[in-house]
Amino acid sequence: MAVMVAEPAADHGPGGGGRVPSRRCEQVVDESGTDPVRGSPGPPGPGSPTVAVGDGSASSAVAATAEAVADPSGVDVAVPAGVDGTDPSGVDGTAPTGGADTPAPAGAGPAGPYRFRLGNRPPLTGIRALALFTVLTYHSNFRTLPGTWVALQVFFVLSGFLITAMLSREGQQNGRIRLGSFYARRGARLVPPLLLTVALLAVYAHFVHVADAAHRLWGDSLAALFYYADYRQAFGHAPFFGYLAQTWSLSVEEQFYILWSVAMVVAVATHRRHLAYAFAVVGLAASTADRLWLVYHGAHFTNATFSRVYYAFDTRADALFLGCLLGLLAADGYLHGWARWARGLLTAAAAASAVFLCWILVEAPLFTENLAVWWLPTTTVASAVLITYFVICPGSLGSRFVGLGVLVFIGDLSYTVYLIHFPVYLALQQDTTGWAFWPNELLRLAIIFAIATASWFLMERPLMRWRARSAARAAGDR
């Protein structure tokens, strides 16, 4: 079955100095650069803060908040209003004061060298809402939009990009990456909604008989909590229609976090930036080769072969590693300052990629050899093109549409919706309620979004704010 995920996070470092307006995709945005008059480096701008992330200083609070917001894999790019220096009068999805891509104030002085900042980029959150809609649609009947698996490619590439950009920034500012802090932030973001889901399943199982509950409910819960659900599915040990079957993709992401964060620590500690690129390229190539070997090694392509290559981390990590390459390129300034003709080509490529992904949604079902051999890598590239477009052209028509406030809000809820939706779908089937499709579907969606919204406002956002205040207090005590 096709399911999806996603993560990371805004980093709003403190900034001083002026800003130089530049025009990207017909929008004047804040781009730190050299002095336009003298051509010499100006004072540090908002893209080059002087306080390091993760060293126990004030920007540690920023890093904690930046990584804390929602997404199907647990990472986000929008920082809630009023948290870590954002405008308390704003709402989710609005750019924080001094955030990425904000207009330069009149009379601002020269800016410092350009450094990529994730800032607040609504399209990178809104795209998760669009992907989530396809997952909810497909899982409602397992017929409509048979190519919904492509949502995972978008999430995997996006996760690799965001995590890498965040870790790169910490390494550049601080000269090191604190693994303990990184894992603590990941756990604080991912674990509470997962525990909530398991707790609600336990309540449900107390009142309703669940057939084969030892495997479909408790076995799935253990696999989700300890992040081995992907290989449980890949090797055929998962039950049919387990209540947390969708969490295999979250396991892929968590295994990636562990591996890639260590790789980034090595690259930063040895002061060899090229090592990070090498790790990403090797990971991408190894994952692709592994998948192709498994497909062509057997005499026939079977459902077991498909499950092995579709669900496991080692055969799906290529999308994550391509996202890592994008994150490294962005952090090193290569997704900045493109000429008008290059932006035009990118816009055309993004439009073609969007059309291709829509075609895949309708025409590329699961359990085919073509999916494993051709559609996975091509949709990975198409997803990377779209993400690059959203980063380089934040003011374009496509970026403004995907960054609409309602989509950003649903994108914020997407991680919890993703966790909750599948057990609710299994619990409320038409043969259980006796209702027609649409009344039954509306009931499902009402329950799913009610739980996700309550979790967001009553648990997830308060936890993020608490973590931000704790980090700020710890920084003040030093």
- pLDDT tens, residue by residue, 63-77: 443 333 334 555 655
pLDDT of residue 476: 58
Task: Give the whole-number percent of the chain exceeding pLDDT 90.
Answer: 68
Q: Could you write out the three-class secondary structure of the chain?
A: CCCCCCCCCCCCCCCCCCCEEEEECCEEEEECCECCCCCCECCCCCCCCCCCCCCCCHHHHHHHHHCCCCCCCCCCCCCCCCCCCCCCCCCCCCCCCCCCCCCCCCCCCCCCCCCCCCCCCHHHHHHHHHHHHHHHHHHHHCCCCCCCCHHHHHHHHHHHHHHHHHHHHHHHHHCCCCHHHHHHHHHHHHHHHHHHHHHHHHHHHHHCCCCCHHHHHHHHHHHHHCCCHHHHHHCCCCCCCCCCHHHHHHHHHHHHHHHHHHHHHHHHHCCCHHHHHHHHHHHHHHHHHHHHHHHHHCCCCCHHHHHHHHHCHHHHHHHHHHHHHHHHHHHCCCCCCCCHHHHHHHHHHHHHHHHHHHHHHHHCCCCCHHHHHHHHHHHHHHHHHHHHHHHHCCCCHHHHHHCCHHHHHHHHHHHHHHHHHHHHHHHCCHHHHCCCHHHHHHHHHHHHHHHHHHHHHHHHHHHHHHHHHHHHHHHHCC
Q: Which amino acid is at 226?
A: F
pLDDT of residue 245: 97
pLDDT of residue 475: 55
CB proximity list for 423: less than 8 A, separation 6 or greater? 197, 200, 201, 204, 243, 244
Q: What's CA 217's distance to the chain center, in Å?
A: 27
Strands 27-31 and 20-24: antiparallel
pLDDT of residue 73: 57
* pLDDT exceeds 80 at position 78: no
pLDDT tier at 185 (50, 70, 90 boundaries)?
Answer: confident
pLDDT of residue 97: 33
* pLDDT exceeds 50 at position 396: yes
pLDDT tens-digit profile of 142-162? 999 999 999 999 999 999 999
pLDDT tier at 104 (50, 70, 90 boundaries)?
Answer: very low
- Determine if the pTM surpasses 0.85: no
Task: Give the whole-number percent of the chain exceeding pLDDT 70.
Answer: 74
pLDDT tier at 41 (50, 70, 90 boundaries)?
Answer: very low
pLDDT tier at 54 (50, 70, 90 boundaries)?
Answer: very low
Long-range contact set of residues 181-185: C-beta below 8 Å, sequence gap at least 24 = 181/54, 181/60, 181/63, 181/64, 182/54, 182/67, 182/261, 183/257, 183/261, 185/63, 185/64, 185/67, 185/68, 185/467
pLDDT of residue 128: 97
Backbone angles phi, psi at 100, to 5 degrees: -70, 145
Q: Are 476 and 60 in contact (CB under 8 A)?
A: no
pLDDT of residue 236: 95
Mean pLDDT of 373-377: 98
Mean pLDDT of 116-132: 93
Mean pLDDT of 202-225: 96
pLDDT of residue 79: 39
* Residue with token string 């002085």: 109
* pLDDT exceeds 50 at position 5: no
pLDDT of residue 125: 96
Distance between CA 141 and CA 47 in Å, rounded?
Answer: 47
* pLDDT exceeds 70 at position 418: yes
pLDDT tens-digit profile of 243-264? 999 999 999 999 999 999 999 9
Q: Are 32 and 48 in contact (CB under 8 A)?
A: yes
* pLDDT exceeds 50 at position 171: yes
pLDDT tier at 53 (50, 70, 90 boundaries)?
Answer: very low
pLDDT of residue 431: 93
pLDDT tier at 49 (50, 70, 90 boundaries)?
Answer: very low
Distance between CA 472 and CA 463 in Å, rounded?
Answer: 14
Mean pLDDT of the chain: 81
pLDDT tier at 98 (50, 70, 90 boundaries)?
Answer: very low
C-alpha distances in angstroms, 407 versus 48, 411, 423? Answer: 30, 6, 23
Distance between CA 458 and CA 462 in Å, rounded?
Answer: 7
